[in-house]
Copies of this chain bind each other. A is one copy, B any other.
Amino acid sequence: MKILIKNIKSLILINNEYQVKNCDICIDGEKIVSVGESADSFIPDYIIDGTSRLAIPGLINTHTHSYMSFFRNIADDLSFSDWLFGRISPLEDKLTHEDMYWGAMLACIEMIRTGTTCFVDMNMDMRAVIDAVTHSGMRAVLSRGLVGEGNNEGGRVRLEENLRAFTECTNPNITFLLGPHAPYTCDCEYLKIVTDTAKKHNLGLTIHLSESINEVENVQKQFNCSPIELMEKTGVFDVPVIAAHCVLLSDNDIDILRRNNVTVATNPKSNLKLANGIAPLVKLYEKGVNTTIGTDSAASNNTLNMFSEMNYTAMLHKGVSHNPTVMSADDVLKMATVNASKALHNPNIGQIAPGMCADITILDIDTPQFKPQNNLKSALVYSACGYECDTVIINGKIVMENKEIKTIDTQKVYYECEQIIKRIDS
């Protein structure tokens, strides 16, 4: 289908800086074919009126656990151990394949509704999430959370199942990473096996690193080094890695991350809510580490709203560094778009530009929080709530229009999620 987005204010990357320009955006099939004045020769099948609207590259959430969405608000204001061992884990043990599908669908609804077009997921059931992503029309980079000790059977089986799910997936909008869960759930031998497998299949990894004081202290006690140092020694960083959290980092850790081109997916809201603290993001940024943004799951956030996460990323680090000039709106918008595309080694997403995949989010800016229109780039980070998004196009397909998601029966998903919680939490 040929889509013309007519006369719309658009967030365009010019000389590595975002600017807002008035333009027409022409989409042919899966690709953006022109941005600027539309040629007379472009005969659209469908026209979207850009009046009072702002087009931005679809946002990329680089760390979440989509299936956990039905745990939203089920375990708040608790200590980490009460949260995880008292509430989340016992509930998780009762989940079926179908449950995880509905959880991932709820996540897709919330992400599409708030302008996210692509997400990096660590899940417990690859096929459930593949189905949800496919039905929703989203783009995704999926990993199964791998837990294992040495060369034991459980870890090997999970890895093999995971690889089989990859090869069986026929959706071209889904790609894969391997997802060793964390240094405290994977021992070094298993991490080596996973890394070797990644090398063999030309895959990257995603892993939770340096999230909590507990984790860092335990690794220090056992290995006399930091989790980041341990990963370098173990060879995990020999493949491309997206490391989630990275809250507790030494200067040496930051050097290691930079030297190994590791991407850090920061999760400011989850880190605050679970009381793990605040990542040294300004230092990471200044040292040239590629940084991106993730929401983590709805069990620890409790939203998958990238606008809220961008807002926290900017505000928090100004406050704790006592410097209001750091983490500018431009920096943060790049983290949620082009930095993420770099992390995913996918140069075809993250920008509104000719030749790119047509992943576009359109916001209705005829709302008080966008008035007056002094600086729309600032407004996206400092004023938007996320629910201004009214149209979302992914890979050239209109997935949401006028705030109605066209690919999903949202009421059915809400109903199923309520039923799951009633069953497992009774």
Contacts and interface: CB of A to CB of B under 8 A. Distances in A.
Interface stretch (A202-210, A238-246, A354-362, A368-376): A368-376
A306 to B, nearest CB: 12
Given A269-B315, A272-B315, A418-B371, A308 B385 contact: yes
A305 interface: yes
- How many copies are assembled? 2
Interface stretch (A21-29, A33-41, A274-282, A391-399): A274-282
A151 interface: no
Interface residues of A, number: 72
Contact of A387 (B269, B385, B420): B385
Interface string A30-66: 0000000000000000000000000000000000000
B80 A302 contact: no
A318 B276 CA distance: 9
A239 B83 CA distance: 44
A371 B275 contact: no
A319 B273 contact: yes
A414 B368 CA distance: 8
Given A110-B369, A319-B276, A372-B418, A382 B271 contact: no
A371 B106 contact: yes
A414 to B, nearest CB: 5
Contacts of A305: 369, 385
B110 A315 contact: no
A402 interface: no
B417 A371 contact: yes
A324 interface: yes
A383 interface: yes
Interface stretch (A6-14, A69-77, A177-185): A69-77
A375 B74 contact: yes
Interface string A395-426: 00000000000000010011001101100010
A379 interface: yes
A78 to B, nearest CB: 6
A329 interface: yes
A78 B277 contact: no
Nearest to A332: B77
